Amino acid sequence: MSETTRPLAEGPHTVIRPYTYADGPEFTARARESRQLHSPWLFPPTTDAAYAQYAGALIEGRDRAGFLVCERGREWGHKKGRDRAAGGAIAGFININNIVEGAFLCGALGYGAFAHAAGRGLMSEGVGLVTRYAFDVMKLHRLEINVQPGNAASIALARRCGYRLEGFSPDFLYIDGAWRDHERWALTATE
């Protein structure tokens, strides 16, 4: 188990890095502050115990990978005990779930911005960094984003990051007590 905050990739405004267990207090505080923004689309962990389980699956899991999108710059100087290059405040998170190897080499991207970072372009940059990392370092061939049709902000993010609409899947994922329809967006390494 590594507790490194070393960046995996850097952009002009953000860095992406792995989750650590030590991120729990900041992550859960930001998730609680962002409940209104996230509802009814996603439900990131808001307690220490829930975060430990959630992050553990990403840190230790073989079929998934998790990335924190962190701001670069001004807020970083106030944090203690972390590598300056790793970035400052956590702006959001991006997970690659259901990674399938072999002939498929695919994963499903899930993401969320925290309220203080919403609308600032940080997640667009973060999704771009994770997409390049997935194709170049993880050697995946295809990434998918599955979005509920009413989630205009998430659809706009997928489109801004170059993902293309592939179709519509009724009753695709069980979220918040019901099966929800989803649009399927995708991008391949060759595009």
Give the Å distances, CA to CA, from 177 to 137, 170, 180, 181, 191: 36, 15, 9, 13, 36
**Per-residue CA distances from 146 to 43, 89, 110, 163 (Å):** 15, 27, 8, 11
CA–CA gap between residue 97 and residue 100 (Å, rounded): 9
Q: Which whole number is the average pLDDT over 44-73? A: 92
5 pLDDT higher than 80: no
The predicted pLDDT at position 176 comes to 86
The verdict on residue 4 lying in a domain is no
Q: Which domain holds residue 22?
A: 9-188
Of all residues in the chain, the percent with pLDDT exceeding 70 is 90
Task: Count how many domains the chain has.
Answer: 1
The domain that holds 81 is classified in CATH as 3.40.630.30
What's the confidence (pLDDT) of residue 4?
Answer: 55
In a domain? residue 3: no
Taking the alpha carbons at both ends of the chain, their separation in whole angstroms is 35
Shortest CA distance to 145 belongs to which of 103, 173, 114, 178?
Answer: 173
Q: For 114-149, what is each residue's pLDDT tens digit? A: 999 999 999 999 999 999 999 999 999 999 999 999
State residue 41's pLDDT score: 87
The model carries a pTM of 0.88
Reading across the β-sheet that carries 178-188, which strands appear in turn? Answer: 9-10, 14-17, 65-71, 90-100, 106-113, 142-147, 178-188, 164-175
In a domain, 98, yes or no: yes
Residue 82: pLDDT over 50 = no
In the beta sheet, which residues pair with residue 169?
Answer: 182
**Is residue 1 assigned to a domain?**
no
Distance of alpha carbon 134 from alpha carbon 30, whole angstroms: 26
Q: Is residue 142 part of a domain?
A: yes
In a domain, 2, yes or no: no
Number of helices (H), then strands (E), in the chain: 5, 8
Domain-located, residue 130: yes
